[in-house]
Amino acid sequence: MTTAELIRIVSRSSPMALAQVERVRAELAALHPEVRTEVVPVTTSGDRWMGDLARLGGKGAFTKEVDAALLAGEADLAVHCLKDVPADRPLPAGTVFAAHLRRDDIRDALVHPDGLTLDELPPGTRIGTSSVRRRAQLSASHPHLEYVPIRGNANSRLAKLAAGEADALLLALSGLERIGETARISEVLSVEVMCPPIGAGILALQCRADDTATIDAVAGLGDHATWREASAERMFLHVLQGHCNSPIAGWAKSEEDGRLSLRGRVFTPDGKQVLDAHEWAGSLSPEDLGTATALALKRQGASELIAAIPH
C-alpha cells in the first residue's frame, strides 16, 4: 500500500498500556479519519517476571517482545512509555521513533488509603516501590520510612495495596491519570521533592524504518517541544551509561520562548550522596545539551559512583 489504510498497533497488554494505545487511536482518528487501526497486545517478560528487573537485563524486559512483533511484521506501530525504553543502547536496528506525543505530567504521586501526605506518614510506614530512583530520594528525605518491593502494572500495584502488602504507594501521576485513578492520590510530589525518571510522561511511537506509509501517517501526532526534551534526556542517560540499579533522574524543559534546559541528578542508593547538574542549551542541539549535562555530572564523579553500585 502506498498509504497506511490499516495500522496494527502493538503494545503491552496491561490496562495502562492499552489506555495509552486508545489515546493514540483517538488522536490518529482525528488526524486521519480514513485510517483504520487494530490492537495487537503482547505480554512482555517484564510483565511476567515479578522479581528484580536486573536479572532480566533491566528495562529492555518491557520492550523486547514489542520490538520483536514490530520487526517480524506482525504489527506496524509500537506505543511505548519512553521511560521504559533503554537509552544506554540504540533502538533495535531497522526501527525508528516516528513521533513523541505531547508530554503528560512528569511528577510522582503518593497513594495512601487514609489520604496522608508524605510528611504525615508515621515511622515504619511501608512504601511499596521497586524504583531505585524513588528509594534513594526518600531514603535521604524520609529515612524513617520502610520499603517493600512491589512490581507490576499500576492496577496490580493498587490491588496489592488494598490487600495490605504495603501501606502506601508511589506511582507516576501520568499513569494514574491514564487509568482514571487520580481520586486515590493523597499527594502530588514536586520535582524538587522527587526528581522524575528520564522520559517521564512521554509516549513514543516506534515504526519500522522502511515503513514510510506508517511513519507519514503518525508523524503529525508528534509534539516538537516534547521531542526536544526527550532527545536531551535520552542522550543524557546514554552518556552516563547507568545500569538497572543506578538511581538516575532528570528532566528537560522547553520554555515558551524556545530555550531548553536539562536538570540531571545521580544518587547513591541510600540517597546520602547527590550529584546535581543544571545546564541550558543556548545554541546547543538537544543531544548536545544531554551530553553536556552528563559530562558535568561525570566531572563530579558520576561514573565512579555508578560503577560502585552492585548490579
Among all residues, which ones are annotated catalytic?
Answer: 84
Write the burial class of residue 196 (CB in 10 Å: 0-12 exposed, 13-18 middle, 19+ buried).
Answer: buried
Q: Name the 3-class secondary structure at 81.
A: strand
CA distances from 26 to 8, 20, 113, 142, 253 (A): 14, 10, 33, 41, 26
Task: For strands 203-208 and 95-100, give the pairing.
Answer: antiparallel
For the record, the C-alpha cell of 187 comes out as 499527594
For the record, the C-alpha cell of 72 comes out as 517480524
Q: Using CA atoms, how far apart are residues 23 and 203, in angstroms rounded to an integer?
A: 10
Instruction: Strand 248-254: give its sheet, edge to edge.
Output: 248-254, 260-267, 274-280
Asked if 244 contacts 251 with a C-beta cutoff of 8 angstroms, the reply is no
CA distances from 141 to 53, 220, 307 (A): 25, 42, 24
For the record, the C-alpha cell of 293 comes out as 549535562
Site of grid cell 543524557: 236
Q: Using CA atoms, how far apart are residues 108 and 124, in angstroms rounded to an integer?
A: 21
